[in-house]
Amino acid sequence: MDIKSKIVNLMHNKKYRPLTLPEFAGKLGEPDFILIQEALNQLEGEGRIVKTKKDKYDLPERLDIVVGHLQVNRRGYGFVLAEPRDIFVPKTGMNGALNNDKVMVRLLGRRFKDGNIEGKIIKVIERANFIITGKFRVKRKTAYVVPSDKKISCSIVIPPKSTLDARDGQLVVCEIERWPAGKRPAKARVIEIVGDESTPNIEVEIVIREHNLPLSFSPAAIEESKFISDAISTDDISGRSDYRDVFTVTIDGADAKDFDDAISISKDDKGNFNLIVHIADVSHYVKFNAALDEESRERGNSVYLVDRVIPMLPSRLSNGICSLNPKVDRLSFSVEMVVDTAGEVKDFNIFEGVIRSDARLTYEGVDEQVKKGEFEDKRVGKLIGDLKELSDILEAKRLKRGSLNFETVEPKVLLDENLKPVDVVVRERTVATKLIEEAMILTNEVVAGFMYHQEAPMIYRIHEEPDYEVLMQLAELLKEMNYPIKGKINHPKNLQKIIAFAHDRPEKLLINSILLRAMKQAKYYPECVPHFGLASPHYTHFTSPIRRYSDLIVHRLVKRILKTQCEQEQLTKLIEELYDICEHISICEREAEDAERESVNVKLCELMSEHVGEVFKGTITGVTGFGFFVQLSNSIEGLVHVKSLNDDFYVYDSEHFLLRGERLGKIYRLGEGVMVKLVDVNIEERRMDLVVA
């Protein structure tokens, strides 16, 4: 056991009392003070221990101190994401910390209605924002950058020799050289001039830089990818299950470029379904700790922006040898399952395989053919028929156990060849997407359950139960909207009833959105915690290794148990890093989701800037003291500011989630329909201003 582990074990002893450096030496029987001091410094730097004013060391939790990542709101306050609950940090308690920094926060004891506790940041453990994008400004010969990300509110001074000759008003990227502290501003140097406000598509470029998304692969990763063959060799196939004669298809969106998964299915004489889900065997090509692996780990996942994909792997792999393209041999990691007519998995096996996909189907094409009841290829028709029958069974079983099927929509902005938005279409869950979704959920559960019962190291996809206080607030809101709330709202069955009740009502999307916001965010974790949203006891991500690093790691861990991979020394190191990997890829996922959403909002604002002055019908989706938010039928959302309501003086009623006019008594409440006129669009701030029409 190394010295760091000995120190941590000693400090976790119930009889432990804070010790000084010499006292540690005595307790550990270690005369080398320098060795102990280095270990203590490392643990303190990692936020695992705290040094007190009396030069003694203790665990953070003993001192009412919590370690976590800071998420800052655009208004300046934030939350430290920690267990068992998030810590609220007011603007005055930031102490120089910035969005996404790993911080140490001292609990102040004040509790709020939603159960959150107030805290003050006392130390930044790890910085996240070394690179910041913003507008270059010059005032009285002093140059500075105003961050375009409103979650970063600090001033950034640029010394005269570090401007890169940027001009006032240009959008630039700067690198932090000195962090803010107290009233002292941050200092940085300009490393890139993105362009002027009029530069085409500049707002998406800003989103990319705000989220520090990589624009190129490292030279080492590119060089390594060149040595990977673009064809399958005889040695690659040796020892693998051969599925090339089994009818197999991929089903993806029409604009998909990489194909992680393929499906084979048939029925036996007893009516059981023989389902085989083939997943791209990326781990065959990307070896642990190699250049490609380091690059993939750093990225965490592919990012799907409105106008491009920033892939986790170079296209030579993601669109080439790893992708399950039609009519070519590809290596797979395949899960064979026998599923009965009740949706129970009676048997399963996991094999390394080789497949040859027979057809590349699209969601749009499958939906159209299912609707018509006609298929050009009889084999496709048979496969889709069997898969639809099975997916209906699996969905019914999942809902019966308490899984939640949220009814949401996703706006897809259509762009012309110049990346100018021309229209927005709303994508919903369809028959075709359900076919693949249910098959992938089942596969992920089977693999997770297998690893759980093997008691093997694993990365799970967990979704914890929502906070009871948050759900109670939600119950009050739903009662105001005349929803039948009976029993405990935190029971999945009651949440299902709310979703079902909203199905045919105009505020359906609002209710689903509110429920989703009440849920905790799913994340990766090396210990098995039930997935609340799916009501699944064991769940993982196994089915998308081309675009998610989590799945790539899961493949390696499963192969370790199946003894098809012999990198034992490397895998031991991997297992030691699972907690750090899970934390990193969970953060990467949130960053990617934010970037994807913001890139869509940029183009939505661009599109709506052509419709200023027009009137639209919408639904009130949020009410605050400064106004209310309205969502239009195409999912676009804007704000009606309270200052524009000039027919009366409106007061916010927080208990009933509404604005009420004091003189005339007119009310604006959640879920109500309203006619609004678009009066202004600010693309830079991704904001649309509305007034009541």
Structure tokens at 250: 């991929």
> Alpha-carbon distance 637 to 634, whole Å?
9
Q: Which residue has the higher pLDDT, 504 or 439?
A: 439
| Closest CA relative to residue 680, chosen from 602, 619, 604, 605 | 605
Confidence tier at 379 by pLDDT (50, 70, 90)? very high
Mean pLDDT, residues 390-412: 92
* pLDDT for res 197: 83
Residues 616 and 632: beta-carbon distance below 8 Å: yes
Distances 571 to 55, 403, 464, 551, 663 between C-alpha atoms, Å: 38, 34, 28, 15, 70
pLDDT tens sequence across 24-61: 888 888 888 899 999 999 999 888 899 988 899 999 98
Is the pLDDT at 111 greater than 80, yes or no? no
To the nearest whole percent, how much of the chain has pLDDT over 90? Answer: 69
Ranges 16-25, 133-142, 325-334, 401-410, most confident: 325-334
Mean pLDDT, residues 279-293: 96
Residues 188 and 145: beta-carbon distance below 8 Å: yes
Structure tokens at 240: 């693998």
Contacts of residue 401, Cβ cutoff 8 Å, sequence gap at least 6: 535
Mean pLDDT, residues 281-305: 96
Is the pLDDT at 625 greater than 60, yes or no? yes
Distances 655 to 283, 451, 662 between C-alpha atoms, Å: 53, 47, 16
pLDDT tens sequence across 253-273: 998 889 999 999 999 999 999
Would you say how long the chain is, in residues?
A: 693
Long-range contacts of the stretch 485-493 (C-beta < 8 A, 24+): 490/465, 490/466, 491/402, 492/402, 492/403, 492/404, 492/532, 492/535, 493/402
Mean pLDDT, residues 115-135: 89
Q: Which residue is associated with the tokens 């003086």?
A: 649
Q: Phi/psi at 186 (nearest 5 deg)?
A: -75, 155
Confidence tier at 112 by pLDDT (50, 70, 90)? low
User: 35: phi > 0 → left, psi -120 to 50 → alpha, else beta; which?
Assistant: alpha
Is 181 exposed, middle or buried (CB count within 10 Å of its CB: 0-12, 13-18, 19+)?
A: exposed
**What separation, in Å, do the N-terminal and C-terminal C-alpha atoms of the chain show?**
71
* pLDDT for res 188: 97
Q: Phi/psi at 450 (nearest 5 deg)?
A: -60, -50
The helix or strand, by DSSP H or E, that contains position 309, with its residue range, turns out to be: strand 309-310
Mean pLDDT, residues 370-396: 94
DSSP for 132-165, written as a single string: EEEEEEEETTEEEEEESSTT----EEE-GGGSTT
* pLDDT for res 31: 80
Confidence tier at 469 by pLDDT (50, 70, 90)? confident
3-state DSSP assignment of residue 287? coil
List the single range of 70-84, 311-325, 614-628, 653-667 with lowest mean pLDDT: 70-84
Is the pLDDT at 559 greater than 90, yes or no? yes
Q: Which domains does the chain have, with CATH numbers?
A: 3-61 (1.10.10.10), 64-126 (2.40.50.140), 131-199 (2.40.50.700), 219-462+525-598 (no CATH), 468-519 (no CATH), 612-692 (2.40.50.140)
Is 24 exposed, middle or buried (CB count within 10 Å of its CB: 0-12, 13-18, 19+)?
A: buried
> Alpha-carbon distance 474 to 476, whole Å?
5
Mean pLDDT, residues 630-657: 90
Q: Which residue(s) pair with 263 in the sheet?
A: 249, 277
> Alpha-carbon distance 283 to 690, whole Å?
50
* pLDDT for res 114: 56
DSSP for 607-665, written as a single string: HHGGGTT-EEEEEEEEEETTEEEEEETTS-EEEEEGGG-TTS-EEEETTTTEEEETTT-
pLDDT tens sequence across 574-597: 888 899 999 999 999 999 999 999
Mean pLDDT, residues 228-256: 95
pLDDT tens sequence across 182-221: 788 999 999 999 999 888 899 999 999 989 899 999 999 9
